[in-house]
Amino acid sequence: MAEVAPVEGLGCEVLVGSVDCPSLKRLYKPCNKLTERKCPLYGIGFNFMDVRYYDTFATVGGNRNGSFALLQAYINEDVRKKMRMPADANKDESFYTLSWACDHVDSAPPLLVVGGCSGIIRVIDCATEKIAKSLVGHGGSINEIRTQALKPLLIISASKDESVRLWNVHTGICILVFAGAGGHRNDVLSVVLNAVVHSDYVDCTRWLGNFVLSKSVEHEIVLWEPKIKEKSPGQGSIDILQKYPVPKCDNWFIKFSCDFHFNQLAIGNCEGAIYLWEVQSSPPVLTARLHNEQCKSLIMQTAVSFDGSTILGAGEDGTTWRWDEVDHPSVNENMPPPPPPMQGLMVELNVDVSMV
């Protein structure tokens, strides 16, 4: 695995955005909230893998009282489908991450892939409300799951066992294991590239073309370019290009998200606020600072809708917060009509993981 040193090879000044004067190019208003129980929500995400379900999102969480691990899937604004692990199935399970996937058949229902402290990845069929696959292989908790956008039946998982694994959700087979000598020497918290950009844990990373967005516990997100020497494997340098400040964001496992086209980036902080950045502007431009007077808890992760018109925040107190853009045209006006609701949409599901 390549080790790259923090060298600004282009000799350019790093551009740092300002949080003092939001551009207000897009205005948002707080809409509603939903609190299931007093358990932390670690993950939230829209389904960008299937055009039929772009307005569907899910949340995953832990169990503060040992009674259940929480899974929720939502379709549209006011209809929801709840899935819960029962108390007698796995009292120790807490879900830390989720990702959407889909099978190779066009008409196949969406798949929700989740993982957490048990180290077992669950592939859930959202139509049958059953676990389709249990992917066993990791020897530690699952910190992040990502889906290959061009082949959404392939997922990659990062684990506390210091490994990264590539899986096929259709066959349930582990295709590749990235681990061993020259690999990670500690928990893998996010999936992208090993580089010395931050001085502490890196808990969230995303590709932006040939660049990388990454975040640690240093109150900022960094945009940088990896430069690997083709004739010298394992060596290289980086160019740090831009920084997006995020005040009061020194807790680890606070994760950012972007819309489908990577125009808007949203990240929460320890005081319940969400900072919305124009991620491709240079220098970075803060679009808005979103806050709800009722929200006092840390925002663990955000989710931005397909076109950036809806921003969601998953709170440490178990609350999902929502902001909608003011006077925004319909999200789906250029998209095909949504499919009929999936069967059993309002039914609470008890998924017994002990039987899988």
* C-alpha Rg value of the chain to the nearest Å: 20
Report pLDDT digits (tens) over 101-157: 998 777 788 899 999 989 999 998 888 878 899 999 998 999 999 999 989 999 999
Please state whether the predicted TM-score (pTM) of the whole model is above 0.75: yes
Place of tokens 């307005």: 55
Q: Tokens representing 308?
A: 């950036």
Report pLDDT digits (tens) over 253-297: 999 999 999 999 999 999 999 999 999 999 999 999 999 999 999
Q: Which one has a higher pLDDT value, 84 or 331?
A: 84
Structural domains of the chain, with CATH: 15-329 (2.130.10.10)
Q: Tokens representing 332?
A: 């789906």
